[in-house]
Structure 1
């Protein structure tokens, strides 16, 4: 889309007016991005082709409004069949908060807690150290 912008400029009292014209072929017109035709850098959404907008229609709105869902598997190259992978299926773990007494607010009056840095050794000691000692003692006997 080409745009020609012309401005009249006064140089001084004794000189005549000068007409300056500039030619623009980009989609940026007067500082605003033109979305007609659509810019490839921005995805077209249902808001852009809504039936109440100029140039929009119900058909375009329905065609663009489809959501793209990530696949939960892959197509096997040997037998050309879709294989579902359990780890690729999203799983939402939501706790049951019925009869929960605490509120989602933390006061600024809470005293600050100072503790040492939690290291990998501390994590090992907290989770696995007792089991490793027990297995070691059993293997020695």
Structure 2
């Protein structure tokens, strides 16, 4: 049974087991490898995608759960918030190993889309559960504030 979903603005009909986690559909079926496998239990955030604009862990979201939905991956995220986040990430040299960064960027983009001038508490709440093995949390927070300033100006 095919599942119809829009991924990065492209309507797709995916004919694979509907109980396959979205993460593996993206990586194995569609060859979109920007979304990373981290823990497999939705606790680390490396697999974060936007599901109808909301950050969602793709390792525990099944293909059958996204019928008719709109998915945005790191390869397709765009808009004012995404551009500001990417620029701030580069400016402040946020990533070290980079493994978690697609999930971090998608979470930060969703935050700034909803809350253009977040407080530290807003950032902590939005980014909670996005684990960075290199512990660049201070740079991540600074980059989110920088992105908010860019969006404002």
With the length of structure 1 as denominator, give the TM-score of the two structures. Answer: 0.19
More helix by share: 2
Q: Which structure has the bigger radius of gyration?
A: 1
TM-score (normalised: structure 2): 0.18
Question: Of Structure 1 and Structure 2, which has the larger fraction of its residues in strand?
Answer: 1
